[in-house]
Structure 1
């Protein structure tokens, strides 16, 4: 028997059909990670008997539980299943808009894509979506570029190019296609899903494995520093663990190969303005889970879902009063963040849209340095959004180019 080494450890998962029941071994998914800390714990009880020998005579194990996290670097598709589980809605595509007559105009940071007929709003395009012009006899400078939508009306999308290269004014160009890239998920108004996963740690150098069942996402933490890699932490609460000596999820689908994201690549818009003074951003999606032990069972029979709460924090240099005043005046603002794998025109990306939030602080540091504000925020249901509206009726939406 060998000694386990972290570099050899393999992590794979599969969605469960029945909560807490490990699914069939085929078609599991291997997952990229920096660390994976899932483990099984037990409640413990000790006897309270008063004894003349002054000693403790019994100690028992109680309910079994699984807890821990998978920590990784943010990349397209890699953690999409867990994001969809946290938001309680599968990723879904927006149908491409085909055969449109398109005119392109505007300036850098505020290009316009105008259609001659139909409605972008009816077709489901929202502020915060990343779109591409994917077909038509358009200038090559306008084809297959990631464009973040910053405003939307029935006939006009206003947007900025994520890699800051120019669009060329032209049109109308007949038979063009506008595509919302990849797929989106969001906290829905109804039809919420309640997904659980079985997750395996496989140690081939021992050999040994542990399959953790009934794992539900309890929190997703996104950290987007000004330098270094963007990171993603997925926390789980689960039911039980099954140890063994052989790999259970044999030959899982290989890990994703999409590029790792750094916060320096992408765009951040706060309060309808593109900002360059933010020195850090974190977003936490807490998807509450709770379960109670029952008499006669050493595991929790079911993990019940609670509200999905979205909070976060920005740090920003104090070169504008806009964020401070949003706190002082309790002004509702929006936040749209897109992070790309590289600086190419059609780079993979993950985008986060929060249409309505309130700032809950604006403290400032001091010293012989640039003064920085710390801006915590609470995201709220965007009641102004919805069908045939410019924004989504949700607290947070996530778009992934590679799903």
Structure 2
């Protein structure tokens, strides 16, 4: 008998064709999920497991012992964690948001007549309205066919709109100065995802996740069925790779031997891993150079309720999206304390890239409205003094140009 090794194990997943959970029956994995069309998922670990309540007898007996215990409802609970890379976790993000990745936006000289680029960090169109066209703060955009070759194929992140009809874009990185060019295309790179504003736009999704151990009993699998994804934890340290963890809750676990349930799944993605040393971090409208770490979490508090006559939950309930986190930074002044004391609403934009190339794959996280819940700065040690600020993200309800009406937006250039 062989003992299972972690390096041999495979984690794979697949979306069900329907996200509906039927309250009084479990899904048929062969018919409702199917063995083909799955995806191997990169991971650090998966803590998914089948849980159950146990109810030992409370009888008081003459022998002063417990002689019976009954098993209660089953459910699946745990999380899937990995080193954060673009594309890899797109399906799980979409499930947590209950939204849908939106297709990219494209424009050209037909929409804007001409474009002028300035090394001060601005791009200005001569006509049209890029916001009305669909461009937003936090979008990465690329130009093609510009006369200055160095401005083509660069991922410029939009930081703000200004000027007449929002035609002046503040961007990062700064472009090469170029006079008015009348032959070009400008395209949002990848897709964007926000929390839906209407109930009708919320989408329920459910997944099957498989742990496959090829070195145990000729192939042992554990298939976790009808799983909802209900939030994530993003960790962006000053040094080291960024990590991601998705919270999962499901209804049941099936097991089998002789091979995997998912046959011939698509291989793992091959995108690079994010490291916070590269990219951009902007807090309160300014690039931050002294931040030593950020965590950003979404919690949707997945729950289930036991009912009589069946040993599985009739539903997995997804609650509202609570978004928040923590920023740690070196002490340089009193702005953070003032923001905390005055309940000042600020923004947070983090662009994470997989390398130093101007068109490196990236994810851009944008929270247009956050409030600090603390600003802790104990006097300690002899090195740099650290401020720790917890924050809560809120839905943006203002009218700023090109700012999405959401609590959080993600853009992924690989989609």
Q: Which residue of 1 aligns with 2:46?
A: 36
Three-state SS of the structure 1 residue aligned to 2:327 is strand
Q: 1:51 aligns with which of 61, 81, 84?
A: 61
Q: Which residue of 1 aligns with 2:374?
A: 361
Sort the Cα spacing of 1:330 and 1:158 in 2 relative to 1 into closer, same or farther, 3 A: same
Q: 1:394 aligns with which of 406, 409, 412?
A: 406
Three-state SS of the structure 1 residue aligned to 2:183 is strand
1:380 aligns with 2:394: yes
C-alpha separation in 2, matches of 1:390 and 1:53: 73
Q: 2:195 aligns with which of 177, 187, 191?
A: 187
Q: Is the 8 A contact 1:385 1:392 kept in 2?
A: no
Deviation at 1:51, TM superposition (A): 2.0
Q: Which residue of 2 aligns with 1:7?
A: 7
Q: Which residue of 1 aligns with 2:310?
A: 297
Q: Which residue of 1 aligns with 2:136?
A: 126
Q: Within 5 A, what are the aligned runs for 1:3-402?
A: 3-16=3-16, 17=18, 18-19=20-21, 21=27, 22=29, 23-99=33-109, 100-107=112-119, 110-133=120-143, 135-153=144-162, 154-161=166-173, 167-190=175-198, 191-206=201-216, 207-245=219-257, 246-365=259-378, 366-385=380-399, 389-402=401-414
Deviation at 1:53, TM superposition (A): 2.2
TM norm structure 1: 0.95
C-alpha separation in 1, matches of 2:80 and 2:197: 28
Three-state SS of the structure 2 residue aligned to 1:13 is strand
C-alpha separation in 2, matches of 1:296 and 1:269: 54
C-alpha separation in 1, matches of 2:178 and 2:115: 6
- The structure in which a higher percent of residues are strand is 1
Q: Is the 8 A contact 2:75 2:251 kept in 1?
A: yes
C-alpha separation in 2, matches of 1:312 and 1:102: 41
Deviation at 1:385, TM superposition (A): 4.9
Aligned CA-pair RMSD = 1.4
Q: Is the 8 A contact 1:104 1:111 kept in 2?
A: no
Deviation at 1:288, TM superposition (A): 2.5
Gap runs ≥5 in structure 2: none
